Structure 1
Amino acid sequence: MTTHPQEATERSSHAVVSRRRLLALAGAGTIAGMTAATAIDAGTRPAHAATAVPGEDEPGQGPTPTFAVVTDTHANADQPARLDLLARVFDSIAERDPSFVLNCGDVADYGGEAAYGAYLETIPDSLQDRMRHVPGNHDVRWDVNAAQLYRELFGPAPYSFDMSGLHVVGLDPTQLLQEPGNFGPGHLDWIARDLRDAAPSVLFLHFPLGADHYYLNDQDALFATVADLPVRAIFAGHVHRETVYRFNGFTQVTGSASRNEAVYYWVERHVDDGHPVLRVTSVRVDAAGTETAEEMTTIPLSGNGEGRLLRPRRVVIDRSGGPAVTVRVDAGRDATPAGVHAQVYPQHVFGGRSAGSWIDLAATGRSRWWSGEVAVADLPPGMHRMQLRVVGGDGATYETTQRFEIPRIDSTPHSRWTVELAGSIQGALAERDGVVLAASTGGVVAAVDAARGRTEWQRELGPVYRAAAFTDDGSTVYLPSSDHRLYALDAQSGADRWSLDVGDPVLSAPQVTAIDGTETVIFSAGTTLHAVAAADGTQIWAADLRGFFAGRVACDGERVYAGSGDGYAHAFDAGTGERLWTFNTTTRQDTYGRLLYGPWDDTVELLPEGLVLFATVTTTFAVDRASGEERWRVAAGCMYPASRLIDDGALLLADEWGAFHLVDPATGVAAWRTELGARTLNAGPVVAGGTAWTVATTGLMAGVDLATGDMVHQLQVGPANTFSTPVVVDGTFVFGDQDGMLHGIDLP
């Protein structure tokens, strides 16, 4: 057991910033006002910026626009040297007097008031109303504010504005509490409407596209959406390095991180040989304020765009039943490719980068067709994507994908039904009496009959990111929402029983338990742990968690066990909320490091013999419930996917890298270990008979024999990422994905 460090620690002068001061630094709401007209779900083309950009005129008129681009600023109140770099960058930009400034995300290390306050303090007053932001994964991954503070300071996204014939669009494919990006159908519809009648357009977002980047799971859907729209330039970050990639009609520029060096990108519109272009220059500023500028690229704003004429006219994938498929690509009449390449889309590369395993297709005589064989023998049955890359003689490229299916066999699970909800199904599913309860980030809650896929009832609440929980008798269900409320609904009808506003986003899964004979709901919101009466929401007690917690507590009737973003596991008296002990889960010392490597998103589990299980991204611990003393540990990051005790008393651990471990809960000694070959985040295993079933983050459904650890079933359900723990109901496996689809799968 370890004690918690002194709460009143010395912090930098940037760390204490009031909400009012933050809004004042952000231009007294000017930035938020700029983007308030955005609406993903609107039925018409969205309005552009509501407040004028300095120097803005009607399209085609007015001054020539100039703008600056920064990315990966990663402000951190505990890192003054990094803040000095940012101040140097923004002072240099201010001297150049741009029309606007784009920040491509990862504004801060994590989305807290101190970090955003430190960032805003580095921006001169003259630039405040010219700043345009989009969030990065760091801004939303560990965000106790559920992006609420970000939106107050910088405005919602997506959004767009026009200036002097240039259309600028800020995109936001980030996913709260998750690492990779995903647009989803609603965001893509917004993009299509916004760009339909637009001038030559510049997109900026955090994650780069194409060029062996796989940070966005549905980037191919974005390519299809903008294929005939006037996108000419993309600015992105995330990779912390300078690159230029010309493909699909536009030029993409990624930038070095301003957290590492005083660097930014200066963009001017010019006319070259009668054609409008954007000239992009990298600018580095040394400690004395001296600038070193180097031209990076020139981006055409007119014509067909870079690589657009290489778009394949037709793609045919011929599956004859052998170990390979034949891929044939019609390059079209107007294209003269230097090469055509194909590979199975590397779905297993989750939120990362991969050079891939490309196959060169061959031109067939004087025909427009290119063809070759791609190996598929190792692919599981189900739906896959073939990625295609057509490269021109000048290096410009066109990227696209084509779906194809590996046939199922008799023993393969197969789809029975699907139900679509608005938003993403990110929280674990819950089930009672054959009815599955699913809730989405779009605020839709649905009770679905598992056998038939029929929706019994549906209603709208605030956005839901974590699992619901039932009372023991199944009469009431509790849902956490980022709108600051815990909702209690009648499980049969969905009608309100009560709701409780706790003043902060509820981003944890509620736990229903009995304490001193009273049915109690325990959950966290902000950095506070709440215990309320299940019957009416009356507060029983509240305790300070000292950090962000998005997981689920465990309770044995005597103590409540919770993880926290302060790097500690905590035990509280179940009746009073008094802190009984803390357990240190990480050796990291800085606030940011303790958050990342602490049990901030752990589903805490009770073990036999008086133990409780805590996990981080690196280590899983069994701790004595009474004393807080460690009993055993395993070097496996089992925080995100929930673990599970099975009928014979063994403990099934699942780690985020796709490994299952069957261990003795008393000692942690493993009986076997199995690799799924794909990562598993948040979606833990469920057990039916002697098989453990899961859906990996990649959409791979897998069944593992509990006796041997052998993988006995596989099905690639589709391309959508999955973070939601499934349920099994009478032979039907039900899971939800990030595209908002609820799937009912027949088990063999």
Structure 2
Amino acid sequence: MGKRAISWICVLILLSVTAQAERFRFLHITDTHIGVTAHHQETRDYIQAFNALTPQPAFIVNTGDCTELGSTEEYKRYREIMSELRIPLINVPGNHDVRWSAIGKEGFAKWLGPLRMHWERGGYHFFALDSTALLEHHGHFEEADLRWLEQRLRRLPKGAPVFLFFHHWVATGEKMVDNEHRLLDIIAPYNVKAVFVGHGHKDMTWWRNGVLFLMARGLYQGSYHQVEVDDSTIRIWRVVKEKGEPALLTELPRAPQPIPQLHVRGVRLQGDELLARLHWRSPDGTLPEQWETRFDNGAWRAVTVEGNDTVFTVRIPMRDVIPGTHRVDFRAVCGGKPYEGTTVVEVPGPIRPLWTFRTGGSVKAQPIVYNGTVYISSFDGTLYAVDVASGRLRWKTFIGGTLVAAPAVTEEVVVIGSTSGTVACLRRSDGRVLWRTSLPPPVFASAGIYEGVICTAAGDGKIYGLSLRDGSRLWEFQTGMFVQSRIVPVRGMFIAGCWDNYVYALDACTGALRWKQKFGRSFYYAPAIGSPATDGARVVVPSNDGVLHAMRVATGEVLWEVASAQGNSFGYPSPLLEDGVVYCGALGARGLVYAVDVRTGQLRWVAETGQVVYDSGCASAQGYIFTAAVSGVVYWIEKSSGRIVRGYQLPEGHVFCVPDTDGERFVIGALNGTVYAFPAQIRSDEKFGK
């Protein structure tokens, strides 16, 4: 057993050794961002203040963004600074810890501790959870973690008080965690007193169904929470630098309390309206002073209800709701606090999935369609081969770790890399492993293959050339950061975009540098997320400062550059280059998709989806472009004009996936673990309605 594992066991013992009725306090801090920030002294000052508290807190929980970039150097610096703390510290991962990290979640676990924890003190139970999605800003709870939480809660003594800690906010504002309702449903039957989060860099409190949620600013910004508990009462204070003295936010009873309940029953579609029957139960008979509803990630809107003291009917217009699977939330505000019920509604339309296939984990990488089969990478560490016509499983092979990379497929084999550092070559016909090799973890990049050479990248910042025959290392090339996007083979070279701001062209046989180009005004704007696209003569790559760059493949000479509209940035979605046109989405609230002439850089058209498009790129077939918003709306866009012809709402699950197609249908995956197949061909009289 390693020293770090032993140290975390010691921390848990310290946290748990206590008398049942002990009074104690703990602190909640968040968003320390140790690394490139210039606020280390502020953190050190708070550490000294915490050490001087009397009585001393039992523990401190940092709810994520412990570091700025999640590098080994930053983790070391964080540990060095926090070593001055004389109080046990629990660290929770945030998006900054995994979004730009070459060492991924494995690095967080190595340096800062487990990704999830459960401890008990004085009869109170505490759960630290991982809400991060690898390489992303948004949040997601992996199903394995939610099952773990559910099982732990079931084993608690009846009425035991519970606190939760994780990074991304839930149950308020823009939906940051796609499966927040799954978490909220799990905790609903239990005596959860408060949930502490970060991410938003604001001092906020809000309620949902009797549970208090609290967010603090970053510690360096001067904000944290202090909580004191005993055998009957919980007191929560907010401490901000502007006031100095703690401000009491609330007092909560330790014991479970009866609260109003809102249940949604009898939901049905009737013409252009949704009818829902809402059942309201209040312990003291109080009626709500306000009713509201919302669809998916939309804004809450006041609605009028009809009914008596306990059963109410609400009618919601549905004329402008697109086909698909929609989450509909209902809210009753009673005594100034919201109580919510929720349901899922299937809205019929002229299109629906041809089939769906559920994996055991999130799907982020592009599903690759090859010769009648879809090859799917899943966060459950398994590679799936599924019949593209029927959605039936052909085979599956467990690789291990997390599969963030898309597979590379040839006539004979499938090659896949894992966050465990494994690169595996499988026989395409049955999934049998032909060989495995190990690289420094994690492997994020989707490999390229050229004439017997596999090109991939690893957590040590190197790009590797491996033998397709046996996985042996043929060459390696050191970059200044790491590669997470697809590595593209073209004309005896491999093209890769890197977080060190360079696009590299390497000789496929030797790994020698042919050329490189630097883009992006700083690290954060590197050409590293959207994958390169090529037609053999030119290569196109986006950088995160909102610029699309076209270069000559042979020399790297920049041919043209196009900037996206203000507030909508090239850099995240991967471009598609087809028939002399580059199709590329841009990150922003307008959800723009561009068509650009690859020869001249002149704009052909711009389509506005009205939904944020994040990492999802484009695929093309039957005269249409296919892409998806992060919210799960899939679009059919007329290739010749940019007219949006149709949209379909997938079930809840962030979409960062690039679709792929066999010409008759296209497939796309989501963080809910499901891959969906849709027809590419549609009738021209089926129009998209907004």
- Same fold? TM cut 0.5: yes
8 Å Cα contact 1:599-1:639 kept in structure 2: yes
Q: Tell me which residue corresponds to 1:421.
A: 359
RCO higher in 1 or 2 (8 Å CA, sep ≥ 6)? 1
Task: Tell me if 1:279 matches 2:210.
Answer: no
Q: Tell me which residue corresponds to 1:469.
A: 408
Deviation at 1:53, TM superposition (A): 2.1
Deviation at 1:639, TM superposition (A): 3.1
Match for 1:344: what amino acid? R
**What do the CA deviations read for 1:513-549 (whole angstroms, capped 9, x no partner)?**
23xxxx2111111211111221222222111111121
Question: Which piece of structure 1 moves more, 476-485 or 370-379?
Answer: 370-379
**Structure 2 stretches lacking a partner, 5+ long:** 683-690
**What do the CA deviations read for 1:146-166 (whole angstroms, capped 9, x no partner)?**
211210122223220001111
Deviation at 1:554, TM superposition (A): 2.5
Matches within 5 A, 1:298-697: 298-304=251-257, 309-322=259-272, 324-332=273-281, 334=283, 335-347=285-297, 356-364=299-307, 366-393=308-335, 395-409=336-350, 412=351, 414-462=352-400, 463-471=402-410, 474-514=411-451, 519-526=452-459, 527-588=461-522, 594=523, 596-607=524-535, 609-636=537-564, 637-646=569-578, 648-657=579-588, 658-697=591-630
Deviation at 1:311, TM superposition (A): 1.9
8 Å Cα contact 1:604-1:613 kept in structure 2: yes
Matches within 5 A, 1:46-65: 51-54=12-15, 56-57=17-18, 60-61=20-21, 63-65=22-24
Matches within 5 A, 1:16-415: 28-33=4-9, 51-54=12-15, 56-57=17-18, 60-61=20-21, 63-76=22-35, 78-79=36-37, 81-96=38-53, 97-125=56-84, 127=86, 130-198=88-156, 199-261=160-222, 263-270=223-230, 276-284=232-240, 292-304=245-257, 309-322=259-272, 324-332=273-281, 334=283, 335-347=285-297, 356-364=299-307, 366-393=308-335, 395-409=336-350, 412=351, 414-415=352-353
SS of 1:330's equivalent in the other structure is strand
Match for 1:108: what amino acid? T
- Separation (CA, whole Å) in 2 of partners of 1:94 and 1:483: 38
SS of 2:147's equivalent in the other structure is helix
8 Å Cα contact 1:612-1:623 kept in structure 2: yes
Match for 1:212: what amino acid? G
Match for 1:277: what amino acid? T
- Separation (CA, whole Å) in 2 of partners of 1:343 and 1:635: 39
- Separation (CA, whole Å) in 1 of partners of 2:65 and 2:636: 37
- Separation (CA, whole Å) in 2 of partners of 1:586 and 1:149: 26
- Separation (CA, whole Å) in 2 of partners of 1:499 and 1:639: 33
SS of 1:714's equivalent in the other structure is strand
Deviation at 1:416, TM superposition (A): 3.0
Deviation at 1:489, TM superposition (A): 0.4
TM-score by length of 2: 0.91
- Separation (CA, whole Å) in 2 of partners of 1:32 and 1:677: 46
Match for 1:268: what amino acid? E
Deviation at 1:490, TM superposition (A): 0.3
- Separation (CA, whole Å) in 2 of partners of 1:652 and 1:213: 28
**What do the CA deviations read for 1:184-223 (whole angstroms, capped 9, x no partner)?**
4332222211112322101111112213241111112211
Work out the number of aligned pairs and report it.
Answer: 666
- Separation (CA, whole Å) in 1 of partners of 2:259 and 2:455: 58
8 Å Cα contact 2:585-2:592 kept in structure 1: yes
Question: Which piece of structure 1 moves more, 540-549 or 415-424?
Answer: 415-424
**What do the CA deviations read for 1:624-664 (whole angstroms, capped 9, x no partner)?**
33443322111133433222222x32222222343221111
Identity %: 24
Deviation at 1:551, TM superposition (A): 0.6
- Separation (CA, whole Å) in 2 of partners of 1:121 and 1:361: 57
**What do the CA deviations read for 1:368-394 (whole angstroms, capped 9, x no partner)?**
23344333222211111111112112x
TM-score by length of 1: 0.84
- Separation (CA, whole Å) in 2 of partners of 1:504 and 1:733: 32
8 Å Cα contact 1:90-1:124 kept in structure 2: no
Q: Tell me which residue corresponds to 1:43.
A: none
Q: 1:700 aligns with which of 612, 627, 633?
A: 633
- Separation (CA, whole Å) in 2 of partners of 1:742 and 1:612: 28
Question: Which piece of structure 1 moves more, 96-105 or 721-730?
Answer: 721-730
SS of 1:326's equivalent in the other structure is strand
Deviation at 1:565, TM superposition (A): 1.0
- Separation (CA, whole Å) in 2 of partners of 1:614 and 1:730: 26
8 Å Cα contact 1:633-1:668 kept in structure 2: yes
Deviation at 1:125, TM superposition (A): 4.5
**Structure 1 stretches lacking a partner, 5+ long:** 1-22, 35-48, 350-355, 589-593
SS of 1:127's equivalent in the other structure is coil
**What do the CA deviations read for 1:686-721 (whole angstroms, capped 9, x no partner)?**
211211122332221211111121112222121222
SS of 1:561's equivalent in the other structure is strand
Deviation at 1:610, TM superposition (A): 4.2
Deviation at 1:460, TM superposition (A): 0.8
CA RMSD for the aligned pairs? Answer: 2.3
